[in-house]
Structure 1
């Protein structure tokens, strides 16, 4: 079972990050954190790594609904979307599959929220144009 929703795109890395953030915003997500893994590994470990960004995405109304159902769910928030340089020269965009992630909670009341977030992430990935 895959735990992510994936898309490979052509284009410049920074442009793909920008388009991903714009697509997230169009689906009601804000990016609460933006972790530059390449820079962090260089600074902390003096290690070289491919360009890799972790975008912590949150849709406040859906997060609120989920937290009202399961207060401890905050440990699984925000939902991460990663953008990184793939080995073939393309740029990979991967979003966590919320239906898989929330299945660990085993609360059927969260199924609708998980499905809604998944549908929005599918539209986000589809909105990132191929170049």
Structure 2
């Protein structure tokens, strides 16, 4: 899906980037509801080695509730996935699907567009801070 992903390359270690993403997601009011260590899962299930990679399932309950009140079908898109993946010796990639592109799959509804825009802003701020190293000291409303 060209143009449907938000991606940053971070010149920091995988573990530092994963911690930074966790911290900023919390600041942005996005709760990590699931965490899949894809590297360990593939090693355990298939005996294959892949670079470090974690998939974080994130959600903001208030926004999810509002979206569900417009269209219960939107639940198929929950939670948003944020992928943190090691690339090379000292780099990390952080990616997510653009929530505005996902909401377009449900239909063109003004409230859903507004909610998707809100989530997108929070995810963009998270990805940006992964690059800048910003540190949170409080939670965004």
TM range (shorter): over 0.9
- What per-residue deviation string (whole Å, max 9, x for no partner) do you get for residues 2-28 of structure 1? 221111111121111010011111110
Normalising by structure 2, report the TM-score. 0.87
Q: Which residue in the other structure is 2:4 paired with?
A: 3
Structure 2, unaligned runs of 5 or more: 134-141
**Residue pair 1:37, 1:54 contacting (<8 A) in 2 also:** yes
Q: Which whole-Å CA distance do the structure 2 matches of 1:14 and 1:5 have between them? A: 20
**Residue pair 1:10, 1:130 contacting (<8 A) in 2 also:** no
Normalising by structure 1, report the TM-score. 0.93
In the alignment, which of 111, 114, 117 is matched to residue 112 of structure 1? 114
| TM superposition shift of 1:130 | 4.2
Structure 1, unaligned runs of 5 or more: none
Q: How many residues align?
A: 131
RMSD: 1.4
- What per-residue deviation string (whole Å, max 9, x for no partner) do you get for residues 47-74 of structure 1? 1111110000001111111111111211
Q: Give the 5 Å matches for 1:11-90.
A: 11-87=12-88, 89-90=90-91
SS of corresponding position for 2:49: coil
**Residue pair 1:11, 1:130 contacting (<8 A) in 2 also:** no
Q: Which whole-Å CA distance do the structure 1 matches of 2:72 and 2:65 have between them? A: 10
SS of corresponding position for 2:93: strand
Q: Which residue in the other structure is 2:138 paired with?
A: none
